[in-house]
Amino acid sequence: MFSGAIAAIVTPFKAGGIDEAGLRSLVEFQIANGTNGIVPCGTTGESPTLSYKEHERVIEVVIEQSAGRVPVIAGTGSNSTQEAISLTAHAKKAGADAALLIAPYYNKPTQEGLYRHFEAVAKAVDIPIIVYNIPGRTAVNIEPATMQRLSKLSNIVGVKESAGSMKQITDIISLCGSDFTVLSGEDFLTFPLLCVGGHGVISVVSNVAPRQMADLCSLFSQGKFEESRKLYYKLLPLLHILFIETNPAPVKAALAMMGKIGSEEVRLPLVTMSEANRERLRQVLEAQGLISEPTGQKRS
């Protein structure tokens, strides 16, 4: 159920608030272009700066607009176990297909603390849970041995692995078995992860190139490895440029250039892209055929 290219969707803002119409339009763009799932309220969705009411509303809107056409994996993590339980319970009630829970950040729990955190949420809310490991943002790494323990809990079904280590990825696959879903949290590792037995990616790049990212994964699953590899290398400049500044500022700038959102607004402490990097981004988008050179309008 959770495989292929799954879009970690942005939260579009308008005059400081949630642009619900813009969010619904982005969901339709994703589904029309073959995305394999949508994740609202992840890192790319700026969950740290959403109020609880906004967080819950974004999840509700994405579920409503998706209308069962693709799986919705709601971001519900927190560095407070009780808050994570509350957000996850809301996601289940709203109709999410699964929950994505980031490792507790700032607290720096031990491996035992990490295990007990996820165990508590899994026991409290009967919904499929994907663990999100991103030590670059949380200051703590979920070790493969801890992931193996977590994989034995019936409703912890997978991991979004963003440590950037192929060794860690292969260790997790080896320890947790083929039934445990391993998704890349780094777009540039999508093809390598597929090669070692991973299942796909929760993707930032899918925001702007959903068809291409879905095709990359689909070609691989069909055994068309060389075609998948060629597409990966074609996309590689895009996979890198969208992280030239802190996510999601670049991807929001790209979506605005493509005419997919009305504003590239991000919330402080994030800021919009510098002009120098914006021009570099524009050049890559043009080279990828996502915008046209003279006007910046999306090509047909």
- pLDDT for the residue numbered 297: 44
> Which whole number is the average pLDDT over 107-121?
98
pLDDT band (50, 70, 90) for residue 1: confident
pLDDT in tens, 139-159: 999 999 999 999 999 999 999
- pLDDT for the residue numbered 295: 44
* Overall CATH class of domain 4-224: alpha beta
| Residue 168 vs residues 7, 44, 102, 198: alpha-carbon distances, Å | 23, 23, 17, 12
Q: Quick check: is 160 catalytic?
A: yes
Q: CA 12, CA 46: separation in Å to the nearest integer?
A: 10
pLDDT band (50, 70, 90) for residue 294: low
Q: Which of 53, 106, 160, 167 is catalytic?
A: 160
What rounded mean pLDDT belongs to the chain? 96
> Could you tell me the residue ranges of all domains in the chain?
4-224
- pLDDT for the residue numbered 150: 98
DSSP secondary structure, 219-266, as one string: HHHTT-HHHHHHHHHHHHHHHHHTTSSSTTHHHHHHHHHTTSSS----
Q: Residue 205 carries which DSSP code?
A: G
pLDDT in tens, 222-243: 999 999 999 999 999 999 999 9
Q: Which of 132, 232, 252, 260 is catalytic?
A: 132
* % helix, strand, coil for the chain, step of 5: 50, 15, 40
E runs forming strands in the chain:
4-8, 13-14, 17-18, 38-39, 73-75, 98-102, 129-133, 156-161, 181-184, 200-203
> Which whole number is the average pLDDT over 160-180?
96
- pLDDT for the residue numbered 174: 97
Please, what's the b/e burial string for 118-130 (b: 16 or more CB within 10 A of its CB; e: otherwise)? Answer: beebbeebebbbb
Q: CA 209, CA 189: separation in Å to the nearest integer?
A: 16
Residue 262 has pLDDT above 70, yes or no: yes
Residues 6 or more apart from 107 whose CB is under 8 A from it? 79, 113, 140
Q: Quick check: is 167 catalytic?
A: no
pLDDT in tens, 34-69: 999 999 999 999 999 999 999 999 999 999 999 999
